[in-house]
Amino acid sequence: MPEVFIQLNDLPDEIFIYILKKLTNLQVLYSLLGVSKRLNRIVYGSIFTNHLTLLRSISNDSIYPLSNRMLDRFCLHILPEIHHKIKWLNLESCSIERILRATNYPSLNALGLYNIRQEMNPPCFTDVILSNDTLRKQISFLAIQITDDEESINFSAHIFTKIFTVFTNLKYLNMNESFISQSLSFYISP
């Protein structure tokens, strides 16, 4: 019986994509972009570029920033190449400014911001977004996870005020569970 060796390059695109979908988009882009023309064509597809989570999460729900090496590669090489395909970004508080300033995101309409802390007052994400009128208008979905803190009630009110002032096209807002029990009131002038 003859031995049969199948290499990765022998697989049809559909099977290769099926295998790659077992990885995160972060892992696929970081590891495979630039390896070969075929991989670039597959990795550049909307399956891997529409929704990016540029943070590390651990099984106990802890969230951490990417390493500087990974951030460098994304900000200097990967994001500028795929910026027009990105529709959703999930970012950790330490890297929000760097990633949002790396390139423009003409298709971005959803943003997830994680580990927002009270000591970031005013939150760094507003400075970046305030300086980008297009980004302010195109975000329609916003998810924010604020790190729990005993004194977070006043901070959350400040965040809500900023959100509704900054994101002029916001349709959906998702906040972490700790804010469900908190009450906010808004005055809308005539």
What domains appear along the chain, each with residue ranges and CATH number? 8-49 (1.20.1280), 52-176 (3.40.50)
Q: Looking up tokens 């949002």, which residue turns up?
A: 100
The neighbouring-strand residues paired with 173 are 142
Q: Looking up tokens 């994101």, which residue turns up?
A: 167
Q: pTM for the full model?
A: 0.82
d(CA 17, CA 77): 22
d(CA 102, CA 83): 9
d(CA 85, CA 82): 6
| Tokens read off for 87 | 């529709």
pLDDT-flagged residues of the chain (< 50): 178-190
pLDDT at 183: 42
pLDDT at 3: 66
